[in-house]
Structure 1
Amino acid sequence: MTQAMTHAVPQAGPAAVAPIEPMLFRQLLGCFPTGVAVITTRDAVGRPVGLTCNSFSSVSLEPPLVLFSLRKASSLVGAFREGEGFAINILSQRQDALSGRFASSRIADKFEGVAWRPGPLGMPVIDDCLASFECSVHACHDAGDHHIFIGEVKHMGGGSADHALVFYKGAYMMLAESLRTLVVQGRLGSADLDEAYRTLYGTLLRLACDRATDAELDAVEKAVDDIERHQGTDTLAQRIESASRFFCAIADAGHNEALMLMAQTMTSILRERMTHVIPVLPRPDLFPLRRRVVHCLRRRDADGAVAALDELITKLRKDAPVASPAAAA
């Protein structure tokens, strides 16, 4: 009787895996459009508190479970962990100002001037939202730098018949689509855009000189390294991505959520201009200026960093060797 022969299949060794770059990870996650919600609860003394969130998701129909995630560094972690429940308020397009208000770290009382009412569980339910879900806390899980809160829906309701507020690639979708149309049609002038870049990123550089951590400055420098390393062989799309990372790293280092949102919008404009309006050839002549920005940030020299950025923007517009989209790609 013969026995079946078995052969061991050689196992491939573990492939070298590049570490996940946080900034690129965030940008790629932004490719998935999400709705926007304000998550609310009450603090230890019963005051309404809340924050803007786009990590809301359904979990189960039976029982009806939903979840959202919250940064461990958030000042509201204690309120949500110690509270008996929370409400999820789904925002409409008309409520983009509410999204900005509840996302701001500068506004102490987020509910001042906001129309809301206590739900059956006592949680703050914001008026005129597309939908609201009042939940008891079902579970809370630790997950990296976030907590995941799972809620069991106890009460729910619908309100406005408006369209949903959608967040996509760092901007509200309705805004991003409008900006893309304006850029492609040439209705946003170069002079106005240059002034906006100088004003916004000049402010962010000054804030970064005061607030940035060494790790955040390392991220700015790494973005410059990537631009220089791959500039000669990259496609147009890759060059756009590299340029975007440089400006996104500066925005992150500024530690201002409202300005970061504006910077994300400006990055969307940059992408559209480089794709549809002024695709350019590699610019090794700009390498020293980006290096000077990094050098000044390291020295906490705000005036020097702003001056280097100003010169960078000037040279980008003045001396840009423009190529056709086909040639640039």
Structure 2
Amino acid sequence: MRLPSGRTIGPPEGRSWGLAEKTFNDLRADNRIWFGKDGDSTPRIKKFLNESDGQVVPSFWDMTDVGSNDEAKKEVNELMGQSDVFDTPKPVRLINRMVEIATKKDTFDIVMDFFAGLGTTGDSVMVQNANDGGNRRYILVQLPEPLDPENKDQKLAANYCDKLGKPRNIAELTKERLRRAGKKIREENPMFAGDIGFRVFKLDTTNIRAWEPDRGNLSQTLLDSVEHLKADRSEADALYELLLKLGLDLCVPMEQKTIVGKTVHSIGAGTLIVCLAPQISREEVEPLALGIVEWHKVMAPAGESTMVFRDGAFADDVAKTNIAAILQQNGLENVRSL
């Protein structure tokens, strides 16, 4: 075997190599073989902390291994381009250690932080993925706690939000840090093809109108209930509620296409197809349905697909029945209205 130093070695006398050549080459290609600091030592297999079953994690972590508060502040100051934006950040290396111990790199593990602060956990997950080619994901929870420019401890952070043109709250700092961290990771690791994006969700009430009859004006209540979606909600709001109700991942890929002037959304490569156009006439039913059928054939999802339309969009019951019939004739059986 030729070592990185150029020296050629064989197995110890009277023994053979402990791995098949292909297995060894695969590990070497994955950077899992260690040849010593100078590349001239007998090869050893690298074993990560999360692969060591039964190994007890030390209770004391030295700051030389996991960083310090000073290191964390320096990281944040350099990343955000301003000093003292946040008082108590955690060092990325500290969270990296936790992520390395608690997760596997290739099983889409989710790391959740209920008190995100400045988003160190999200930053650390992306860094760890860049380090080992992993596909870990993260969920960060942060209340939009207001920042008061009159409070001396919050003034710099509030002014920073003003400079960004964002509302004065901690959640905006979290998002900005993640954007900058992702950009930095991409610049420092040009060969890393992992995902550095994120989506932001806010807790709210349902997008569907509740039945709240006005006993003094029942006729108007019935007319108002023809449209099931609340007037102040967007298509995106309704789409994500559908994902939740159908048990789909909120981070599934989304595409959209215009068919006969109507925006049609494909979620999860055709697992869910949604058209929330406010109006669909009788004349538009057939070309819209056939356009969806053709797009569905191109996407060719592995399992059953669900079609969802806005219930109040159809000109009449005939239009609604016809679109369902055309889709079902072409194998798209699961048609619903919202």
Query: Which protein has greater RCO, CA pairs closer than 8 Å, 6+ apart?
Result: 1
Q: Is the TM-score greater than 0.5?
A: no
More strand by share: 1
Q: Which has the larger radius of gyration?
A: 2
More helix by share: 1
